[in-house]
Amino acid sequence: MLADRDDIVRVANPAASRLLGAALAGRRLVEVIRDHEMLEALDAARRGQDTVREMERDGGRRVLRAALLPSPLPVLPLMGG
């Protein structure tokens, strides 16, 4: 998933859509992610820190691992599939 510097999702792959819901492109990150730990990790990436977060979903049956890296580009890569 890619978001621009205004926190608008520009591109989402099928894996992101399965995890976060359909029709992600054009929506604000806070609407899509709704997880304070992930939003804090995004802020850290913007400050130039490499960040890895693991979050449990479905009562611990699934673990989502997100690696966030700072980007000099006008879009911010969020997570891979």
Domain ranges of the chain: 2-76
Q: How far is CA 2 from CA 35, 56, 60, in A?
A: 17, 22, 26
Task: Flag the least confident range among 29-43, 46-60, 66-80.
Answer: 66-80
Structure confidence at residue 74 as a pLDDT band (50, 70, 90)? low
pLDDT of residue 75: 55
Instruction: State the pLDDT confidence band at 29, using cuts at 50, 70 and 90.
Output: confident
Give residue 28's pLDDT: 93
Distance CA 18, CA 43 (A): 24
Residue 77 has a pLDDT of 55
* Confidence category of residue 78, pLDDT binned at 50, 70, 90: low
